[in-house]
Structure 1
Amino acid sequence: MPARILDKAAQGERLTLDDALILAQEADIHSLGRVALARRTARHGRNAYFVYNQHINYTNICQNACRFCAFSRQSGDRDAYTLSVSEAVERVSSRREDPIREVHIVGGLNPNLPYEYYPELVQGVKNARPAASVKAFTAVEVAFLAERGNISPRQVLEDLRQAGLDALPGGGAEVFSPALRQKLCPEKISGQQWLNIHQLAHELGIPSNATMLFGHVETWWDRLEHLLALRDLQDRTAGFLCFIPLPYQPHHNELRAKGPDGLDILRMLAISRIFLDNFAHLKAYWVMTGVKAAQMGLWYGADDLDGTIVEERIGHAAGATSPKGMTRDQIAQAIVQSGFTPVERTSHFEAVAQ
């Protein structure tokens, strides 16, 4: 049975949920990898992409209490922090010599921040880095801002776009299953609300990424239903730039799940490449997989390693053991060592002329 479905996938036919479940549970990892690599090669050849980017986590104060999160703090905690707009802008402008092409901004749901802070933050960063894309605020943050400003999510997105927003990151998706969200993040918006906000963004001409957190208490069926919801929305809007499966980090949080091993990470990447046939790009996020697993991921369907990052805080708070940042030369070398051709890109996956 897996051989027949692998042949179907190799021919470029769209898989059903049942097809994908059989592959996920029964297919040999090497056979799965060969098909995923072929699908990846058909789109991208030997190219593997990366971006010169910088992460800004503007606050770790959050009114939610997601069970898998080790980053969030409450107001008054010893290590709670919030950057002012000028402090955040200084972190970007102080690296003036670096050719940063993307600033990635996400943080906690801080009830102490006024609505005006967010468009001012986007505008400040955009003014400091006019040539860079500003990829800011997850759908969860957008919903929170709508509540804070007593306006619609559409108006929030329009305000942010006016301030200089170029794209939405994919965080906050976790796993769409309502039952699992009750266990993992009951305070967070529903999976359907996450999808609705990304659809709104796409309708407004704001592209976005998509993610899934895996390797905790979910089943393969939960994973595949999540992928199907993303595939269906992409069929309607074509607004997703990239899918990023995020391995759960097992340390310093309440969930106490084991986390995925290397084979599970590779299987997840391969299934994602094959099943998400309308997503051009698949990211092996080196921060959460580790560099070596991300390098292997390029052979199992991934075509992107993310970027330089400079200083990542969220995954590392949960025990990620990867570096907090890489230089452009380091990430290019990691791609070359994997047998692929490094291609520096923009947020919109346009190749940067060298």
Structure 2
Amino acid sequence: MLKQIQRKIEERKPLDRSEALWLLTRADLLAVGKMADGIRRVRHPHGRVTFVVDRNVNYTNICQSQCRFCAFYRAAEADDAYVLTYETILAKVAELADRGGTQLLMQGGLHPDLKIDWFEELFRRVKAEFPAVQIHSLSPAEVIHIARLSGLSMPDCLRRLQEAGLESVPGGGAEVLVDEVRKEISPNKIGWRDWAAVMEEAHGLGMRTTATMMFGSRERPEDIVEHLFRIREIQGRTGGFTAFIPWTFQPGGTELGGETATGVEYLKVLALSRIVLDNVENIQASWVTQGAMMAQVALFFGANDLGGTMLEENVVAAAGCSFRLSTEEIIEIARGAGFLPAKRNTKYEILEIY
């Protein structure tokens, strides 16, 4: 089977689900990693590793979804529940801009009262004051929630948000794109088809988006494979995904509990992502959940991007995972692994090579 798969990769033919499952469950980690690294070298022969200077602003922690894997959300009546004011958010964006940042990653909970006009006003103010900052914000679940709350169709909601300044939609809330898994870990959240519908609509409006996968909770290997193939199929229809980011479930403080995936499991899934997603240009290493050293290793298992500097991150940190990296440290991770560090923007346009 391994030689058959290697031959298909050499001939640039896509794998099928059975071959992907074999790599995930039967193949040697280093063999899979070597194949993924070879693909990365072909796709990115310049030897660059990219990153973006960004900030993750969580505008509220009040969330009706109450996912079992999340330690961040609060009920509206909780003592530590909050909604940030426009002034607080704009001050955070000002700090991002002062540091040369170009990407605002803004996500929160499914708040029961924040309708589309709240976001339209915020996005307009951000773009008016910081035109160089790209608004890469709101997960598909948030878009659908805002639409329902505002009495709008999802396409109309997305179009209005875009007109107000939304430029890109992050892939958050994908978890695993298999509804049986979603019903166990996030029973109140949208199904996988709704997630896909928002992404395809965004792509149709000319927005580029990312795709993610959170694994290591309750899914089976077959579910991981199905997730990857569903991403590949969406990309085949739209071409709108800039990158894929797999990351591991962090159980600390969550209702779901349990253990997180091991480093070996993370690298295997990362490498498989690079192999299966032959139509997605970039694979991102998750230093936020894996730490700096594992992110550096990931650059030899198919990853070519180190994500954002994240001047702020609260969701994963709520589960007890609080790795922090500066721009200088990300540059050193890439350089120390023998690559050329390159700062990019949300659209993966190169801004500076170090």
Q: Is the 8 A contact 1:214 1:223 kept in 2?
A: yes
Q: 1:148-205, CA deviations, whole angstroms, 9 ceiling, x for partnerless residues?
A: 1101111111111111111000001111211111101110010001001100010111
The count of corresponding residues between Structure 1 and Structure 2 is 352
Structure 1 gaps of 5+ residues are: none
- The 5 A counterparts of 1:252-267 are 252-267=253-268
- The residue number in structure 2 matching 1:314 is 315
Q: 1:271-312, CA deviations, whole angstroms, 9 ceiling, x for partnerless residues?
A: 000000000001112101211111111100001111211010
2:41 aligned with 1:41, yes or no? yes
- The residue number in structure 1 matching 2:343 is 344
How far did residue 95 of structure 1 move? 4.5
Cα 1:309–1:252 shift into 2, 3 Å: same
- When the two chains are superposed, the root-mean-square deviation of aligned CA atoms in Å is 1.2
Q: Is the 8 A contact 2:287 2:323 kept in 1?
A: yes
2: distance between equivalents of 1:96 and 1:218? 39
SS at match of 1:212: strand
How far did residue 339 of structure 1 move? 1.9
- The residue number in structure 2 matching 1:20 is 20
- The residue number in structure 2 matching 1:286 is 287
2:9 aligned with 1:2, yes or no? no
- The 5 A counterparts of 1:101-112 are 101-112=102-113
What residue identity is the alignment partner of 2:303?
A
- The residue number in structure 2 matching 1:128 is 129
2: distance between equivalents of 1:70 and 1:329? 30
How far did residue 94 of structure 1 move? 3.8
2: distance between equivalents of 1:170 and 1:198? 8
What residue identity is the alignment partner of 2:21?
L
What residue identity is the alignment partner of 1:73?
R
What residue identity is the alignment partner of 1:335?
A
2: distance between equivalents of 1:307 and 1:340? 17
Structure 2 gaps of 5+ residues are: none
- The 5 A counterparts of 1:79-228 are 79-228=80-229
Q: Is the 8 A contact 2:97 2:133 kept in 1?
A: no
TM-score under structure 1 length normalisation: 0.97
Cα 1:65–1:147 shift into 2, 3 Å: same
What residue identity is the alignment partner of 1:297?
A
The percentage of aligned residue pairs carrying the same residue is 36
1: distance between equivalents of 2:20 and 2:55? 35
- The residue number in structure 1 matching 2:326 is 327
1: distance between equivalents of 2:22 and 2:238? 28
